[in-house]
């Protein structure tokens, strides 16, 4: 093959690789009410400044009894248009056709012609589908990091692995969830041997109720904005009362198991520009050992804790680190009665556990974010209070699978 | 003065619930701001419904989710409170999914 056909083939391949994905309609929703509106959601973000996208003459609808009067971008969604229409609509199934739309793909603007959409789902089906989606437990950001990096890190001369899993499937009772927490590591000095599972009831007590009432009762956009401003000037978001019944087991060995009831209050701040925080000033854990031959019978603990997250982001992209996050969580337990310790002895008194996590993101792209992570754990956790003192360093990659 | 001059306008109506979801978010995080005076209302970040609650530009944690839900329930019509309570306390949820769920619940439960 001579040079020219090879270059031509390479160019064609590059063009095919860079070609924009065609724009399509993902969903058409009829929103009833005093001012009915049709929301059309697309596969890609639309070009914000394009007059053609907001031109009612650009759209035809079926049934033909309705006519588009005005089009706006949907607030908070870059890939959605709102169509205000005149005329009576006797069915919830409508179809729309856009003669031309300008949209963005891979950072560039493209034109799509003849884009069709049809509402195909009944209101009841849609509600059930969405209910299942918001009640299921997606991966948290930390779990995304763990699944991506494996948390397999080089730590103090050895390279081994550790994992923390937390599952919270919701039960049908509002506020009630089940949970399973597992903290296990093969790295020497990093294994907390902590495993607990049970169910939890949680009740939130918002602290800005009066301001929210004034927001709900506001009679003009200006009143609303003033109420939002007042809420955003507050430090505290509220309190959360937690009550749980759980079984604590020494992970892997099952040599120690305890049934424990746990009641506590958590104070939660609002997220400020660079930080958020929570504190557990008061919690008690009361229970019994489940081993008949155990030297330990009753269990009673007072618990207090604190957690904080600090974050700084470089919006100008001038520095190599685009975003830095520091997470700290600490808990202290005062054991009122003797409890079984790691190694078989029994003891009471103060036991603490702290965890520091530093994440430095060097790249944040639409495909994901990546960087480095350093974490430090020290202290001990029930049921056996195995001493933990470890540090880990790893590569961090958070996928963007949460994006639409 | 005619009597009707003393009457105040009715509260701003709940339509698809998107505004109320944004208010509830803004009540828990300063990283989300809402301008209700714009038509339609404006929210920053402008693609907030494409993000998750624990997104870097939203900044909610698992601990703040119960407060968000309680605030949201207070801003919506009372019959929706059980639906809001059943939303998972997980900041990994997509905000858009919650907004869609609220809109669908409003369509079915409250709106004509």
**A286 and A329 in contact (C-beta within 8 Å)?**
no
B36, closest residue in chain A (CA to CA)? A221
Instruction: Give the sheet arrangement for strand A59-62, strand by strand.
Output: A59-62, A95-105, A108-118
How many structural domains is chain B composed of?
A: 1
| SS3 assignment, position B72 | helix
CATH 2.60.40.1220 fits A22-121, yes or no: yes
My answer on whether omega of the bond before B45 falls inside 30° of 0, hence cis, is: yes
How is residue A199 written in tokens? 């169910």
Binary contact (A130, B101; C-beta < 8 A): yes
CA-CA distance, A67 to A56, in Å (whole number)?
Answer: 9
pLDDT in tens, A33-59: 777 788 899 999 999 888 889 999 999
pLDDT in tens, A155-183: 344 444 444 455 555 556 777 888 787 77
CB-facing half-sphere around the CA of A299: CA atoms within 13 A = 29
Question: Which residues, at least 6 apart from A195, have a Cβ–Cβ distance to it below 8 Å?
Answer: A181, A182, A183, A184, A248, A249, A250, A251
**Domain hosting residue B103, numbered range:** 18-107
Residue ranges per structural domain of chain A: 22-121, 137-398
Binary contact (B104, A126; C-beta < 8 A): yes
This prediction has a pTM of 0.81
Binary contact (B101, A323; C-beta < 8 A): no
**A183 and A195 in contact (C-beta within 8 Å)?**
yes
Residues of B in contact with A74 (CB under 8 A): 18, 40
* Smallest Cα distance from B75 to chain A, Å: 5
Check CB contact of A401 with chain B, cutoff 8 Å.
no
CA-CA distance, A194 to A106, in Å (whole number)?
Answer: 45
Fold of A137-398: Porin (2.40.160)
Binary contact (B67, A240; C-beta < 8 A): yes
pLDDT in 10s for each residue of chain B, 112 residues: 444 444 455 566 777 899 999 999 999 999 999 999 888 899 999 999 999 998 889 999 989 999 999 999 999 988 899 889 889 888 889 999 999 999 988 887 765 5
């Amino acid at each position: 093959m001579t040079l020219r056909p090879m270059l031509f083939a390479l160019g064609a391949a590059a063009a095919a690789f860079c070609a924009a994905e065609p724009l399509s309609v993902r969903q058409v929703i009829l929103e009833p009410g005093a001012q009915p509106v049709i929301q059309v959601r697309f596969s890609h973000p639309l070009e914000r400044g394009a007059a053609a996208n907001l031109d009612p003459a650009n759209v035809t609808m079926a049934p033909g009894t309705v006519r588009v009067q005005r089009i706006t971008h949907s607030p908070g969604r870059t890939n959605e248009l709102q169509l205000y229409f005149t005329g009576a609509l006797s069915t919830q199934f409508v179809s729309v056709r856009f003669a031309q739309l300008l949209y963005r793909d891979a950072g560039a603007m493209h034109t799509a012609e003849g884009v069709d959409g049809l509402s195909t789902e009944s209101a009841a089906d849609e509600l059930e589908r969405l209910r299942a989606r918001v009640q299921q437990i997606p991966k948290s950001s930390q779990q995304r990091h763990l699944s991506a990096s494996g948390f397999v890190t080089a730590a103090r001369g050895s390279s081994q692995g550790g994992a923390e899993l937390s599952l919270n499937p919701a039960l049908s009772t509002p506020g009630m969830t089940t949970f399973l927490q597992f903290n296990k590591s093969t790295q020497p000095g990093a294994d907390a041997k902590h495993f607990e599972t049970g169910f939890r009831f949680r009740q939130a007590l918002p602290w800005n109720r009066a301001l929210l009432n004034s927001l709900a009762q506001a009679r003009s956009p200006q009143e609303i904005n003033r109420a939002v401003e007042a809420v955003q000037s507050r430090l505290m978001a509220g309190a959360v009362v937690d009550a749980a019944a759980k079984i604590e087991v020494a992970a892997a060995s099952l040599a120690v198991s305890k049934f424990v009831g746990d009641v506590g209050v958590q104070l939660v701040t609002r997220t400020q520009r660079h930080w958020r925080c929570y504190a557990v000033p008061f919690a008690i854990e009361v229970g019994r050992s489940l081993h008949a031959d155990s030297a330990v019978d009753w269990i009673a603990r007072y618990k207090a804790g604190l957690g904080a997250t600090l974050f700084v982001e470089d919006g100008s992209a001038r520095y190599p680190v685009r975003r830095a996050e520091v997470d700290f969580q600490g808990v202290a337990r005062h054991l009122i009665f003797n409890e079984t310790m790691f190694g078989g002895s029994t003891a009471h008194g103060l036991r603490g556990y702290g965890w520091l996590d530093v994440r430095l993101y060097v790249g944040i792209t639409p495909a994901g974010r990546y960087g480095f992570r350093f974490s430090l754990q020290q202290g001990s956790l029930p049921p056996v209070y195995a001493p933990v003192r470890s540090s880990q360093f790893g590569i961090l990659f958070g996928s963007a699978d949460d994006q639409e | 003065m005619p009597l009707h001059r003393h009457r105040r306008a009715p509260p701003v109506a709940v339509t698809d619930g998107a505004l109320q979801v944004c208010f509830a978010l803004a009540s828990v995080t300063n990283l989300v701001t809402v301008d209700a005076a714009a038509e339609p209302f404006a929210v920053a970040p402008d693609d907030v419904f494409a993000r998750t609650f624990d997104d870097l530009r939203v900044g909610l944690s698992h601990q703040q989710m119960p407060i968000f839900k309680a605030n949201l329930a207070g801003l919506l019509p009372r019959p929706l409170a059980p639906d809001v309570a059943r939303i998972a306390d997980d900041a990994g949820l997509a905000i858009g999914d919650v907004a869609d769920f609220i809109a669908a619940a409003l369509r079915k439960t409250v709106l004509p």
